[in-house]
A and B are shown apart, each in its own frame.
Chain A
Amino acid sequence: MAHAETHDPNTPLEYRSEVGRLNILGFWIFLGAEVALFATLFATYMVLTHRIADGPALGELFEVKSLLIQTFLLLTSSFTCGLAVHEMRRHNVKGLMLWMIITLGLGLGFLYFEIQEFLHFIHEGANIGTSAAWSGFFVLVGTHGAHVTFGIFWVTMVLIQVAKRGLTPATSAKVFITSLYWHFLDVVWIFIFTAVYLMGMVMHHG
């Protein structure tokens, strides 16, 4: 570990320490496990999607407006997160901070609209105990939402560390890993958008 190493000047900061390189690789593998986790949840949702018992159908309650706002906020946050890492690579701490804080703001906005939507569904008589289909919906979408919540806390903690210590191989690896996590949540959302919302609405409204 941590031998004196010589670097190509083009090596990004986060790849300059062995610990950083190992952590980034390990995190990619962790994301592989997350893919398995979400794939299981998607499969569960898919087999339960028509099992609505006496409750409302899924597509019946989905609203395009809320869905588009959520999608817009989250996809944009992935873009700003990319800009943050871009600034980090230019060793611009201020730029990194600014774009990451915007990312967090967009993430919070996404959560706000998601929670509003959940409350709306519950108000309309669809909660986790209404039917198997709604159980599948709340747990799949809720797991994603919980990941976003966790991500917001995590990024905040890492930003505090960047503020305290500046950009080092250690802090930049942490920023980079949280950015991978954030983009991953975006990818999962695209699947939720398609498999849950679009398919739900298409099947309900034809």
Chain B
Amino acid sequence: MKWDEFFVTGDPLIYGADVSIVLTMAGILFYMTRYKKWKWLWTEWLTTVDHKKLGIMYIVSAVLMLFRGGVDALLMRTQLAVPEAKFLDSQHYNEIFTTHGTIMIIFMAMPFLIGIINVVVPLQIGARDVAYPYLNAVSFWTFFIGAMLFNISFVIGGSPSAGWTSYMPLASNELSPGPGQNYYLWGLQIAGIGTLLTGINFLVTILKMRAPGMTLFRMPMFTWSSLVTMVIIIFAFPILTVALALMSFDRLFGSHFFTLQGEGMDMLWANLFWLWGHPEVYIVILPAFGIFSEIISTFSKKTLFGYKAMIWSMLLIAGYSFLVWVHHFFTMGSGAAVNSVFSITTMAIGIPTGVKIFNWLFTMYRGKIQFTTPMLWSLGFIVNFVVGGVTGVMLAMAAADYQYHNTYFLVSHFHYVLIAGTVFGCFAGLIYWYPKMFGYKLNERIGKWVFWLFTIGFNVCFMPQYFLGLDGMPRRVYTYSEESGWGPLNMVSTLGGFMMGIAFLVLVYNMYYSFRFAKRETTGDAWDGRTLEWSTPSAMPPFYNFAKIPEVTGLDHFWRQKQAGKVEKLTAKDIKKIHMPSNSGVPFIMGSFFFVLGFGFVFDWMWMAILGGIGVIGTLIYRSFEYDDGYYVSVEEVLETEKISK
């Protein structure tokens, strides 16, 4: 490989990106060195095993990825704004819609939710940490490294261009030569390891680390949604692992799983991909459902309506999620009988989902509703998500799907469910739990601007796409003719897209503004909350979360304590020494070796892959021989942190 193939060349946009990357890196290096922040970065963040800090790092990464994926989206919308535009060529357009889809699902939506889960779940169940704090750090770093590996593709070697679904044979060596598709395979594979580990970690955490008295049917709904999500992760992600590995074998070692030669089956890829891919949709929607449940209950001042129905509907959705994957390719020759079965299972998912929608509505019924920003996002979710859900039922009819599959009708549908569900959920959760992470609220007035700009922009962007789809505009095309008549609606859609972009900028401004000017919280109960995470005395819980593990007597325990005026106050004799895990630099180092491994495989440089592999195994062995039992926080330190006098 020559150097001019190694770096992507020939496009002024790319040169601009190169310059901005170099400048940003230089700026960070200068700032960190000038203000002597390296040691702080290492001890406080890179080596941390604190679930709250890892959660914040997940969220920060996800917001950066939202920016990257959003820029991709705006580039696409710019190209499509007018007929026969020359802004992007077809290859560049293909790369951008591929990275947009992959980044938004794998490196934005999932990490954003996992970040919120990391911050909130241990607090909600009254635990001091997760079951495996060290493993939690490994999960984060593998996710982060996978994301970085995928992201550098657009300046080094070229991005994948076969769509986020990477259908074979399009993604084969013949039709997608070069490193682009390898970036997809290895970025996802490495990040996938972290996701599976998170699944195991939080499943055990929720099953085993709950505070005394918190039975399964006393758990807050967000914790429940996380539990169900973890189960889906544990069964779905190994399928992705295998699918990616098989495609890697096809591309690297000439096997014939999905090829047209050697009697390989290209449809096998479609099946494996969606056997993971459909449950993945629920991995990114169920935690959002959990977030909305918490918020709607808190700001209606009522216990969640139909608590048990909510749980059973979630379990049903989790089961169904594995039974509907064929609806992603009704038109690829499965036959009428198979299509009918999957059509019915797909529609059946609407039933438990409908149960949840009505439960949220009934929770609000006769409640004292407070229209805070998290509540606005939740209300906006209900309305817009239903639009997405109803059009989903339209798509679920296999016969009708022959009319609008692979059109903008579909594109609009899944953006209506994923943005109104997951993205609204991420924003709602971020704003709701922001004081738990940073000790102050985001500004409510600016927050409402963000909500309205984003929600209106979202509808302006995607509502026209339903009509474009019904009018026959196919997805994945980089341009269209004047005669098609699709120009005006596309222009409207693009304007909506940019409105969402502006909303994102205002959100970031709000973070800056609130950091500077927001009133700091003095208690841990910023929203008059109902669940245990709000019961910590200080606004931001100390690294050990709870000085004394709470005991739970029922659902919404903390709320009922407050109502009865019986919130326990900590006294010096409640305090015992606390056992905590030690920080470790090994997960970060292991992640770096994963990067070397992945980069080697991307360019087919086996020496480099082997070097990285040795590094990964070496760090595993190092850890295995390390007997670190953590340390104890002394009673004095706890008393001081909790501001209790003896």
A36 contacts B265, CB within 8 Å?
no
Instruction: Identify A26's interface contact among B204, B235, B243, B621, CB under 8 A.
Output: B204
Which of A21, A25, A44, A174 is in CB contact (< 8 Å) with B257?
A44
CB-CB under 8 A for A135 and B256, given A40-B238, A52-B263: yes
Decide if A112 is an interface residue (CB 8 Å cutoff). Answer: no
Interface flags for A29-66 (1: CB within 8 Å of B; 0: not) read 11011101100110010011001110000000000000
B627 within 8 A of A: yes
In B256-289, which residues have CB < 8 Å from any A CB? 256-257, 259, 261-265, 268, 272, 275
Are A128 and B237 touching (Cβ within 8 A)? Answer: no
Kindly state the separation between the CA atoms of A138 and B242 in the bound complex, as whole angstroms.
14
Asked if B511 lies at the interface with its beta carbon under 8 angstroms from chain A, I say no
Which A residues are CB-close (under 8 A) to B242? 37, 40-41, 44
CB distance from B244 to the nearest CB of A (A): 11
Q: Which residue of B lies closest to A17 (CB)?
A: B629
A115 at the interface (CB under 8 A from B): no
Q: What A residues does B261 contact at CB under 8 A?
A: 53
0/1 string, A116-132, CB within 8 A of B gives 1: 00000000000011111
Verify B237–A33 contact, CB threshold 8 A: yes
A199 in the interface, Cβ–Cβ < 8 Å? no
Question: Do A129 and B234 have beta carbons less than 8 Å apart?
Answer: no
Question: Inter-chain contact count A-B, CB under 8 Å?
Answer: 118
Which residues of A are found within 8 Å of B340, using beta-carbon distances?
none
Alpha-carbon separation in the docked complex, A112 to B52 (Å): 48
Is the CB of B81 closer than 8 A to any CB of chain A? Answer: no
Whether the Cβ atoms of A33 and B196 lie closer than 8 Å is yes
A71 at the interface (CB under 8 A from B): no
0 or 1 for each of B109-131: is its CB under 8 Å from A? (1 = yes): 00000000000000000001101
Inside 8 A of A40's CB, which chain B residues have their CB? 238-239, 242-243, 272, 275
Once A44-B272, A132-B262, A157-B624 are accepted as A-B contacts, the answer to whether A29 and B238 lie under 8 Å apart by CB is: no
Number of residues of chain B lying within 8 A (CB) of chain A = 46
User: Known contacts being A2-B629, A30-B200, A128-B253, is A135 close to B238, with CB within 8 Å?
Assistant: no
- Identify the closest chain B residue to A161 (Cβ): B625
Assembled-state Cα–Cα distance A157/B272 (Å): 35
Chain B residues contacting A29 (CB-CB under 8 Å) are 200, 203-204, 234
In the complex, besides A51-B264, A135-B255, A139-B245, 8 extra interface pairs with C-beta distance below 8 angstroms are A25-B207, A29-B200, A32-B235, A36-B238, A53-B262, A53-B263, A135-B257, A165-B627
Complex A-B: 18 CB contacts under 8 Å? A22-B131, A22-B204, A25-B207, A30-B200, A32-B234, A33-B238, A36-B235, A37-B239, A40-B239, A44-B242, A44-B272, A53-B263, A128-B253, A128-B254, A129-B254, A129-B255, A132-B259, A174-B624
Top 4 A-B residue pairs of the complex, sorted by shortest distance between their CB atoms: A51-B263, A37-B238, A135-B255, A129-B254
Instruction: List chain B positions with a Cβ less than 8 A from chain A.
Output: 128-129, 131-132, 196, 199-201, 203-204, 207-208, 234-239, 241-243, 245-246, 249, 253-257, 259, 261-265, 268, 272, 275, 579, 581, 621, 624-625, 627, 629-630
